[in-house]
DNA sequence: GTCTATATTGGGATAGAC
DNA sequence: GTCTATCCCAATATAGAC
């Protein structure tokens, strides 16, 4: 059975915003991809911005099952889980020939201060991401019997991920990601295997 | 004496692209800010994209004198020079109430694959930035008598800077920057003071 | 809820006099 | 090199029948 119309629009917008960005994607293009006409579109969303908010809410739903779960199910070790999540972004970049990085990061750089709700949702996505990663660091603390600030480490992890993805997309090469991972991993291992 | 028209256009575009981004800035807005009419604008630039390229070339000129020099002149120690450059971004964020981050990073996230020349110029800016920072790491190697991969460390530095700025602008708080700096600095000091 | 047709604005860009 | 006026199209959004 077909997904309902509203969800088809959200998913069409999601992929287009991810590929090209919010401003560069036209409503007409979203309608075409979703196979929906203008009347239906504006029946569900009163504006493009409202659709953006729906997309960001959808990302919030996808965060655990799509971003975290594959790595969390593959690995038991909490540190491996973290690097597994990062490896997921790496794979995505390679498989899409350096087209798809982090969709939240992309939108974060385009959303303006006035778009209050969209900003809140971007922050909720970042916070959720960091929370899942911080939980891993926390578990590593417990297992290994040390005490590092797990939320700060999660913050650094997101920082390294976003910063290297920006360069990967600019350079169209995986090198900045791999080159950042080496010292980042070295640092984390130093903390947990002193 | 007034700056010439072409330069006034470039500088108007530079600040607007920095504040709002490339897509969100209209040519009419640039003309107004530069106090130039449409005829003059298109006398100098055949398109908005060509102007973007001129702005990126201008950034290449500003890289050393504006971004690097203030810190390089303030500090003699190469590692302090690096953190001084990073502190410059921090100051800019605070003083502009979290409006102005890294202009190249902002443009990097908006420019599409097809904008070949603009992409090259973005990469040239990133490469130049990393080269200056790598030179500092290299000098630290020599002074301290160790051997770390200075270009990889410069890559990590840019990564941490860009990744944390993205979060700072999203959250409208300096915390992600400061929280990333702590472990980053700890890592660098560990390399050079083992 | 969906369709076609259309309103309306603003975008980038051009024409041609001066 | 600069001015005013304007073109052209794409953009978001709406109207109203079905």
Distance CA A74, CA A80 (A): 9
Share the mean pLDDT of chain A: 97
pLDDT at A24: 95
- Residues B71 and B88: beta-carbon distance below 8 Å: yes
In a domain, B151, yes or no: yes
Q: Is the Cβ pair A166, B119 closer than 8 Å?
A: no
- Residues B9 and B34: beta-carbon distance below 8 Å: yes
pLDDT at B3: 79
3-state class (DSSP) for residue B143: helix
The percent of residues above 70 in pLDDT, for chain A, comes to 99
Distance CA A71, CA B101 (A): 33
- Residue-wise pLDDT for A173-188, tens only, equals 999 999 999 999 999 9
User: What is the average pLDDT across A56-77?
Assistant: 98
**Protein residues bordering strand C (Cβ below 7 A):** A 5, 36-40, 43-44; B 25-29, 38-39, 41-42, 46-49
Distance CA B163, CA B85 (A): 16
Give the helix ranges, DSSP H, for chain B: 5-20, 27-34, 38-44, 48-62, 69-74, 78-95, 103-108, 116-144, 150-171, 175-192
Share the mean pLDDT of chain B: 97
pLDDT at B2: 62
Residues of B in contact with A183 (CB under 8 A): 152-153, 156, 187
- Residues A128 and B132: beta-carbon distance below 8 Å: no
| A57-61, Cβ contacts within 8 angstroms, sequence gap of 24 or more | A57/A121, A58/A10, A58/A11, A58/A14, A59/A14, A59/A103, A59/A104, A59/A121, A59/A125, A60/A121, A60/A124, A60/A125, A60/A128
pLDDT at B1: 47
Residues of A in contact with B160 (CB under 8 A): 156, 159-160, 163
Residue B45 CA, chain-centre distance (Å), reads 24
In a domain, B159, yes or no: yes
Place of tokens 């069409």: A12
Q: Is the Cβ pair B110, A110 closer than 8 Å?
A: yes
**B48 CA → C18 C1’, Å:** 26
In a domain, A30, yes or no: no
| Residue whose C-alpha is closest to residue A49's, from A114, A118, A104 | A118
Taking CA atoms, A191 is separated from A150, A154, A177, B34, in Å, by 11, 14, 21, 52
Higher pLDDT, A194 or A32: A32
> Does the nearest atom of strand D lie within 7 Å of A149's Cβ?
no
In a domain, A12, yes or no: no
- Residues A168 and A98: beta-carbon distance below 8 Å: yes
Closest residue in chain A to residue B17, using alpha carbons only: A110
Distance CA A100, CA A172 (A): 11
CATH of the domain at B71: 1.10.357.10
Nucleotide nearest to A48 (CA to C1'): D12
- Residue-wise pLDDT for A29-48, tens only, equals 999 999 999 999 999 999 99
Q: What are phi and psi of A43, to 5 degrees?
A: -70, -35
Q: Is the Cβ pair B170, A112 closer than 8 Å?
A: no
Question: Which structural domain, as residue segments, surrounds residue B185?
Answer: 48-192
How crowded is residue A78: how many other Cβ atoms within 10 Å of its Cβ? Answer: 21
Which stretches of chain B drop beneath a pLDDT of 50? 1
- Residue-wise pLDDT for A119-170, tens only, equals 999 999 999 999 999 999 999 999 999 999 999 999 999 999 999 999 999 9
- The encoded tokens of residue B61 equal 């000129």
**CA dihedral for B48, A48, A89, A154, sign (positive or negative):** positive
In a domain, B107, yes or no: yes
Count CA within 13 A, CB hemisphere, residue B112. Answer: 13
Nucleotide nearest to B49 (CA to C1'): C12
pLDDT at A3: 80
Number of structural domains (chain A) is: 1
> Does the nearest atom of strand D lie within 7 Å of B36's Cβ?
yes
In a domain, A159, yes or no: yes
- Residues B34 and B11: beta-carbon distance below 8 Å: yes
pLDDT at B193: 84
In a domain, A123, yes or no: yes
Give B 90-149 residues with CB within 8 A of chain A: 99, 105-106, 108-113, 119, 122-123, 126
In a domain, A148, yes or no: yes
């Amino acid at each position: 059975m077909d997904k309902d119309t509203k969800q088809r629009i959200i998913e069409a917008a999601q992929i287009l915003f991810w590929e090209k960005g919010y401003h560069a994607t036209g409503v007409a293009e979203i309608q075409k991809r979703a196979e929906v006409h203008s009347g239906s579109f504006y029946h569900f969303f009163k504006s493009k911005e409202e659709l953006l908010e729906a997309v960001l809410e959808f990302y919030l739903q996808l965060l655990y099952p799509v971003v975290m779960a594959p790595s969390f199910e593959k690995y038991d070790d909490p540190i491996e889980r973290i690097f597994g999540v990062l490896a997921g972004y790496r794979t995505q970049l390679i498989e899409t020939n350096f087209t798809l990085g982090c969709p939240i990061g992309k939108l974060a750089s385009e959303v303006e201060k006035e778009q209050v709700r969209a900003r809140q949702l971007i922050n909720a996505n970042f916070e959720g991401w960091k929370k899942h990663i911080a939980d891993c660091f926390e578990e590593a603390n417990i297992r290994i019997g040390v005490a590092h600030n797990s939320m700060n480490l999660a913050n650094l992890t997101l920082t390294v991920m976003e910063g290297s993805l920006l360069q990967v997309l600019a350079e169209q090469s995986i090198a900045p990601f791999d080159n950042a991972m080496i010292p980042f991993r070295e640092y984390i291992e130093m903390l947990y295997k002193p």
